[in-house]
């Protein structure tokens, strides 16, 4: 006989077992929950079957709701290009997009494993310098100047950077550089991406992917100091 945890334990911590219990049979009554309504989101953004290999989809759980909402609207309005995302959100009303953003902002699932991407000590060192100090010679501010001292984001609309796959971050820099990712003007990240070399982009994305994700990580409540560049998305 297999050892089963008691049902009260399952009820308290369903997420611990969801990935292992296999798919359950359809419920008797339609569950009126966002978790059920948004299975189309979690199938990529909260994958439990990471055995598939290198990850691309960004973690959206726990990111500031203002940031998530801006991205949903940007996909819908063509300021970000990822066809499946645009297809998903095109006919969803603003109020629902706001609800979706609030929902994922409040989710704090277990930390993802630290990515195992190859990196030389020199590359990681350069990435750390860029993240913590920036590159004043090229007027590139440090990541921590806007994304929070712990790089866990700042409320209400600056995203955390820890826990993002390297390839995803690289792809975003590429999209800013060729103009296919835009934010509300002035688009500060577009400006920064244009000032960074490709080697530096790779250094910072690789260093970010190597940082452990603290389960208790939350976005900072407010900017510690005035932001170094004007950002249209930051009120």
Partner 1 sequence: MKWRILCIVVAIILAAVIVAWPRDQFVASTSAADWAPTSANIARGAYLARAGDCIGCHTVRGGAAFAGGRALTTPFGTLYGPNLTPDAATGLGRWSADDFWGALHNGRARDGRFLYPAFPFPHYTKTTRRDSDALFAYLRSLPPVRQQNAAHAMAFPYNTQLALAGWRLLFFRPGVYETAPARDASWNRGAYLVEGLGHCSACHSTRNAFGASAPGLQGGMIPVLNWYAPSLSSADEAGVASWRQDEIVQLLHTGASPRATVIGPMAEVVANSLQHLSGADVAAMATYLQALPPTAAEGDMKVKPSASTMTAGGTIYDQHCVECHGADGRGLAPAYPPLAGNRAVTLHESANVARIILQGGFAPGTNANPRPYGMPPFAHVLNDDEVAQVMTYVRASWGNRGNEVTAAQVNRYRGATLE
List residues near partner 1 by CB under 8 A: 22-27, 29-30, 36-44, 49, 52, 76-79, 83-84, 86-93, 95-96, 99
Longest Cα–Cα distance of the chain, Å, equals 67
CA angle 95, 231, 98 (to 5 degrees): 10
Can you read off the two tokens belonging to residue 49? 């079957």
Count of alpha carbons within 13 Å of 231, Cβ hemisphere only? 23
* Residue closer to partner 1 (CB basis): 103 or 207: 103
CB 196 within 8 A of CB 173: yes
Structure tokens at 167: 């390839």
Min dist. Cβ of residue 88 to partner 1 (A): 6
User: In angstroms, what is the minimal distance from the CB of 28 to partner 1?
Assistant: 9
The 8-class DSSP code of residue 56 comes to -
Report the nearest approach of partner 1 to the CB of residue 179 (Å): 14
The residue (of 89 and 145) whose beta carbon lies closer to partner 1 is 89
Helices (H), 24-107: 34-37, 39-45, 65-76, 83-89, 94-105
Closer residue to partner 1 in complex, CB, 71/211: 71
In the complex, minimum distance from the CB of residue 171 to partner 1, in angstroms, rounded to a whole number:
15
């Amino acid at each position: 006989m297999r050892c089963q945890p008691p049902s009260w334990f399952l009820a308290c911590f369903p997420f611990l077992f969801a990935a292992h219990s296999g798919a359950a049979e359809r419920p008797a009554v339609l569950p009126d929950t966002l978790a059920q309504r948004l299975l189309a989101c979690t199938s990529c953004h909260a994958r439990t079957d990471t055995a598939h290999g290198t990850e691309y989809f960004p973690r959206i759980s726990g990111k500031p709701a203002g940031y998530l909402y801006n991205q949903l609207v940007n996909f819908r309005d063509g300021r970000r290009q990822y066809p499946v995302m645009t297809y998903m959100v095109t006919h969803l009303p603003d109020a629902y997009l706001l609800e979706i953003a609030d929902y994922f902002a409040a989710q704090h699932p277990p930390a993802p494993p630290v990515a195992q991407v190859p990196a030389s000590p020199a590359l990681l060192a350069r990435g750390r310098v860029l993240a913590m100090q920036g590159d004043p010679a090229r007027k590139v501010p440090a990541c921590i100047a806007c994304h929070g001292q712990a790089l866990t984001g700042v409320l209400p609309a600056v995203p955390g950077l820890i826990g993002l796959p390297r390839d995803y971050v690289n792809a975003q820099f590429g999209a800013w550089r060729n103009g296919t990712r835009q934010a509300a003007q002035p688009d500060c990240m577009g400006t920064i991406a244009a000032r960074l070399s490709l080697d530096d982009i790779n250094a910072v994305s690789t260093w970010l992917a190597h940082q452990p994700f603290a389960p208790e990580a939350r976005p900072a409540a407010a900017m510690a100091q005035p932001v170094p560049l004007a950002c249209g998305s930051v009120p």
